[in-house]
Chains A and B, each alone.
Chain A
Amino acid sequence: MTPIWTALIAGVIALVGWFGPLAVDGDVGPTSLGSLVTLGLVLLALVGAYVGRFWTAVLLVPVGLAGALVTVLRLGELTGGWGYWALLWGFWLVVVFGVGRVSVSETPEVGRARLRSLLPSASVPFLLLLAWQGLVGGYQIPKGIFPGIDDVWRSLVASWPVLLRDSYVTFVKEVLLGFSIGLVTGFLMGIAVAFSRFLRRGFLPLAAAFGAVPIVGLAPVLGRAFGVDWESKAAVVVIVTFFPVLLNTVQGLVSVETLKLELLHAYAAKPHEIFFKLRLPNALPYLFNALKLAAVISVVSVIVAEFLIPGPPEGLGQRISLSARRGAFDVVFAAIFVSSAISIAFYGLIGWLERLTTSWHPSMRDSR
C-alpha cells in the first residue's frame, strides 16, 4: 500500500543517527551487539513504514519503543551527541506516526477496531517515559536536580516497604476512613437538605461559599483541632468528600421527573416507598459522580494536608515533603507514582461499583 511517509522520514533520521556520534565529544562507540540490534530495529521500522499496511503500522509501535529504549539504555555514558538525539527522536517519532496511522485507519473489523482504540492511549505513557529518560540521560542531568526513570525505578524498588507503609497510612487510615465518614454524613445531610424546604433554600446558596474555603488554609486549622497525627488528615478528607456528596445527593433526590412522581402518587405510594423506589435510585448516578470526584481529590488533598500538617514521619505526603527537602527527588517521584496509582485504583473501584449498581442509567449505555 502507500508508505507512511512521516514514519519513513523518522526512520531515516534514526538511520542517519546510527552513523553519527553518540557522545558529545564525537565518540561513535564500539560496534557491539546493542548497536547491531539498534540497526536491525531501524531497518525494521523503515520496512514497516514503507509497506504501510495496518499491521505494519501496528508493528512500528513496539519496534520504535524498543529502539528508543535500547538507545537510552545501551548507550549509558555515550549520550548527548547528535547521533544519540537523532536515534532517540527518530525512534520516538516512528512510534508517534505509527500510532497516528493506526488511529486514522477506517476498519470495521472488531479486532482491528479495538486495537485502534487502545493503541494510542496505551503508547502515550511509554512515549512520555522514554522522552523523560532520554532527555535526562542526554543532557546528563544530575539525580539531585531531576531524576531519570531509572533512578525513580530504583528508589521505588529500594523504598518499597517504606512506601507501602506510607500508602497504608495515607490510604487506609486517612483516605478510606475520612471518605467513609464524609460519604455517610454528606449523604444523610443531603437527605435532610433535600426534604427540608428551609435548608434547601438556606443552605444551598451557601454551599458554594463553603466549597470555596481552600484546603490549604483549612488543613492547618484541622491540624490544631485534631492533632498532627493521621486524624487531622482524615478530617480533611471528610470535608472534601462531604460537600460534593451532599450537593449531588440533594440534586439527585430533588431532580425527579414530575411525571414519575405523579405516577407513584396515583398508586397512593407512601413517602418511604417514593423515597426507596424513585428518589434513591434517581440519586445514585449523581452520588457516584460525586464519589468519583471525591476519590481523586481526597487523595490529592490528603497529600496537601500531610504537607501542611507536619506530624509523625509517615504517609506519602510526608515522605514527599521530607524527601524534597533533602533533595531526594527520585523518592519524590516514586511516591508521586504510588499516590497516582492509588488515586486511579480508587477511582476505578468506585467506577466498578457504579457499573454494578447503576447499570440501567443512560450514561452507562455507551461505555461498553
Chain B
Amino acid sequence: MSKLRQAVPVLAVLGIFILLGYPLALVFGLPLAWRDMQDLRKWEKETVTAQPLADVSDRQTLRFDEGFESGVLVYQGEPLAATYTQDGATVMLETPLETVVMWGATLTPVGASEHVYTVGEAVDAEDPFRAVYVGDRLMREGSSPPLQLPDGQRTDFTFRSPDGPILVDDALIPRDAYQTDGANVIFADAPPFGSNVRRITGDYAVLDASDGSFYVVTPPQAEIRLAADVIRLAEQLQPVSGDPHRYRFGREKVFDNDRERLLYVNDMPLVDQNERPAERVDGERREFLFPSERGIVTIDSVVMAEGQSYTRDGTLVRFVDPPVRNARVRQHTDYYLTNPDAGTVLLAEPPASDAVVWTSRYTVYGEPGCGPNVMACFLALPQHPVPFPHWIAASAVPFVQKFPLADERNIVRATLYTTLGTLAALGLGGAIGILLAIAFVLFRPLERALLPWVVASQTVPIIALVPVLLLILGNFGITIQTSLLPTAIIGAYIAFFPVVVGTVKGLRSVDPLSLDLMKTYAASQLQVFVKVRFPAAVPFFFTSLKLGVAAALVGALVAETESNNRRGLGFAIIGQVQSGNVADVWILLIISALLGIGLVALVDLAQRVIAPWERT
C-alpha cells in the first residue's frame, strides 16, 4: 500500500513528461513543417491545359469542366473565329458549330474485366491533350500520390482523396490488401522503396501506356472513344496595363523552366529560345553576337531595356556597360517569363491590338507537397525531432522485430554487446582506479604529483582521442571490429576517475581511533589495509563504482559510434540517426537509459551481497 502511494507521484510525473512530448513535438515540428510548406521545390506541380468539351452532343451551348477567367475557344490549334459569350465554364455560341469533335480510336475491353480497356496501341502516358469520351460525355483522368513517400518500411499512407482504387507501380492493389478509413490507407505489405503509389481520383487512369490499357473506375454504359481533336476552352493571357509587351497568366507561381509551356499569338506558337552569345563574357567585351535578330536580352536573369542598356544591330547586341565577367548573358527569342511568382511574361514583339494571346498548356505549382495546411505538413514530416509519444510506442514492436536474433543488429544482441563493452570498461577502469588509489594512499607524494593531472585528464574530450587510439591499436592489429579492448580502454578512461577519487576518499575515511586501535595491536601495514582500510573503503568504492558504470556506458557508446562493426547500441543510434528514423533513436535512447539504470542497480546488488553490514 505504501509502495503504491510512493509510486503514484512518480507515475504522475512520468505521465506529465510523456504528455509534454505532444506540445514539444509541435514546438519542434511545426517550424520544420512550415519550412517544408514554404519550400517551392517540394510543391506539387499541376499542368493547366486547354479544357476539352465535357459533352459533345450540344453544339451551341458548350460546357467545360472548369472555366478560365477569360477563356478562348480553340480547335485544331487556332482560336475559333465564331462569336460567343463566356460565363465561367459555359460558352454560348451565336450559331451552332458543324463539328466540335474529331473521333480517334475506339477502346475495346480486355479479357473479362469490366474495368480494363485498351486502345490497341501505345499512348503518350503524359499527354495533357488526351480526351476520352463515354458516349458523348467526357471522362476525367486523375490520380494523386500520397503525402508520404514509400521507403520500403512504411505501410500507412495519407491520400488527399478519401476514396478510389489504389495503384502501386500501375498495378491495381486488391481491396483486401489494404485497410482504409477514408484518406488514411494501411497496406498489409509495405510498398517497395521508390515505388509509384497513387489513388485514382477521376473516372479512369492509364495502367500501361505501352499497350494503351486504361482502368475505368465505373463500368461504362456506352462506347469509349478517344478524341483525335475536340473544341477546347483555353486560357487567354491578360495584358498588364500600360505595357504592350507584358501579359499575365491566369495563375500565379508559374513553373519557370517548363518545357511543355505553349504560348500562342493567334495561331502562331511562341518559342522561348534561350540563346547564348557567341563570345565569352570576359568583363570587358560590350558587343555580343546572337543567333537571331530579335529577342529579350537578359543579364543574370535581369531584363535589359533596348535603347537604354543596349542597342541592337541585327544579330549584334552592343551594351552600354560591359557585362561583368562570367555573367549569364542570354537572348530569349519570342518571350521571357520575367516573374514566375506573379506569372507575368514579357513578349519580344508586342502583338497586334486585336490579336489573342493564349496558352494551351503550362505548369504551375499547385499546393505544398506535404499537404494543404501546416498540420498536414507536420504529420507528413519525414523526420520528427520529437515524435509524438504514441508514435514511439507504436514503433517499439516493429523496432524490436526488425532484425532476427541471428543478425548482430538485433536489439537484444546490441544491448548485450554494449553491456559487455561497459563491463569490460568498468573492469579495466575500476582496476586502474583501485590500484592508483592504493598507491596514492600508501605514498602520499604520488598523490600530490598525480591527482591534479588525473582531474585534468577528464577535461580531454574522449571522443577526440577515439580516432587516435583506434589508429594506434590498429598498428598492433587490434581493431574495434574484432576486439572489445578499444571500447574497454575508451570507457575505462572516463570510468577510472570517479573510482580513484572515491576509493582514495574511502581508504582515508578510516576513523583515526581505528588506526590507533590497530597500533595498540602492533598490526602490520598489510593487516591495517586488509582489516581496516579496505572494508572502510567498500561503501565509498561502490558509490564511486556507480558513477563509474554510468561513465563506462557513455564511453562504450562513444566508442561504438566510431566503429562500423554493426554491433552495439552506439552503432544502432548512429545508424538510425543517419537513416533519419528518429522514433527508433528515441527507443534506443530509452533502452540506453534503462541499461544505465540497470547496470547501476547491478552494482547496487553487488554492494548488498559484498557489504551486507551497511544499514539501509
A and B touch in the complex (CB under 8 A): yes
Contacts of A103 in B (CB 8 A): 445, 448-449
Question: How far apart sit A317 and B589, CA to CA, in the bound complex (Å)?
Answer: 22
- If A145-B475, A205-B10, A225-B385 touch, whether A212 touches B558 (CB-CB below 8 Å) is no
B: interface residue count bin: 35 or more
Interface string of B367-393 (1 = CB under 8 A from A): 000000000000000011110000000
Binds B, one of A82-90, A156-164, A295-303: A295-303
Question: How far apart sit A347 and B465, CA to CA, in the bound complex (Å)?
Answer: 21
A332 touches B464 (CB 8 A): yes
B28 touches A225 (CB 8 A): yes
Contacts of A117 in B (CB 8 A): 448
Question: How far apart sit A211 and B464, CA to CA, in the bound complex (Å)?
Answer: 23
Question: How far apart sit A168 and B79, CA to CA, in the bound complex (Å)?
Answer: 68
- If A120-B448, A202-B9 touch, whether A317 touches B461 (CB-CB below 8 Å) is yes
Shortest C-beta distance, A57 to chain B (Å), equals: 12
B450 touches A124 (CB 8 A): yes
A214 touches B465 (CB 8 A): no
Interface string of B222-233 (1 = CB under 8 A from A): 000000000000
Shortest C-beta distance, B31 to chain A (Å), equals: 10
**A221 adjacent to chain B (CB < 8 Å):** yes
A202 touches B13 (CB 8 A): yes
Within A176-235, the residues touching B (CB, 8 Å) are 198-199, 201-203, 205-206, 208-218, 220-222, 224-226
Binds A, one of B118-126, B260-268, B466-474: B466-474
B445 closest partner in A (C-beta):
A103
A232 closest partner in B (C-beta):
B385
Question: How far apart sit A30 and B468, CA to CA, in the bound complex (Å)?
Answer: 37
Instruction: Name the one of A100, A125, A208, A224 contacting B383, with C-beta atoms under 8 angstroms.
Output: A224
**B554 adjacent to chain A (CB < 8 Å):** yes
Interface string of A318-355 (1 = CB under 8 A from B): 00110011000100100110011001100100000000
**Among B6, B9, B465, B595, residue most surrounded by chain A Cβ atoms (within 10 Å):** B9
Instruction: Name the one of B11, B589, B596, B597 contacting A221, with C-beta atoms under 8 angstroms.
Output: B589
Interface string of A138-167 (1 = CB under 8 A from B): 000000011000000000000000000000
Question: How far apart sit A221 and B387, CA to CA, in the bound complex (Å)?
Answer: 10
- If A120-B449, A124-B450, A220-B577 touch, whether A206 touches B464 (CB-CB below 8 Å) is no
Question: How far apart sit A121 and B561, CA to CA, in the bound complex (Å)?
Answer: 35
Within B453-482, the residues touching A (CB, 8 Å) are 453, 456, 458-465, 467-468, 471-472, 475
The interface residues of chain A, by DSSP majority, are classed as: helix
A307 closest partner in B (C-beta):
B463
**B54 adjacent to chain A (CB < 8 Å):** no
B448 closest partner in A (C-beta):
A120
Question: How far apart sit A124 and B450, CA to CA, in the bound complex (Å)?
Answer: 7
**A123 adjacent to chain B (CB < 8 Å):** yes
**B131 adjacent to chain A (CB < 8 Å):** no
Question: How far apart sit A320 and B448, CA to CA, in the bound complex (Å)?
Answer: 32
Instruction: Name the one of B12, B460, B475, B561 contacting A202, with C-beta atoms under 8 angstroms.
Output: B12
Question: How far apart sit A277 and B475, CA to CA, in the bound complex (Å)?
Answer: 61
**B585 adjacent to chain A (CB < 8 Å):** yes
Within A82-133, the residues touching B (CB, 8 Å) are 99-100, 103-104, 117, 120-121, 123-125, 128
B460 touches A336 (CB 8 A): yes
**B484 adjacent to chain A (CB < 8 Å):** no
B464 touches A216 (CB 8 A): no
Contacts of B145 in A (CB 8 A): none
A225 closest partner in B (C-beta):
B385
Shortest C-beta distance, B14 to chain A (Å), equals: 6
Contacts of A300 in B (CB 8 A): 458-462
Contacts of A344 in B (CB 8 A): 456, 459
- If A145-B471, A145-B475, A221-B585 touch, whether A213 touches B592 (CB-CB below 8 Å) is yes
B589 touches A299 (CB 8 A): no
Instruction: Name the one of A209, A225, A335, A336 contacting B386, with C-beta atoms under 8 angstroms.
Output: A225
B554 touches A208 (CB 8 A): no
A214 touches B577 (CB 8 A): no
B577 closest partner in A (C-beta):
A220
Question: How far apart sit A198 and B10, CA to CA, in the bound complex (Å)?
Answer: 9
Contacts of B574 in A (CB 8 A): 220, 308
Shortest C-beta distance, B419 to chain A (Å), equals: 14
List the 5 shortest-distance A-B pairs measured between CB atoms, nearest first: A103-B445, A202-B9, A120-B449, A212-B596, A202-B13
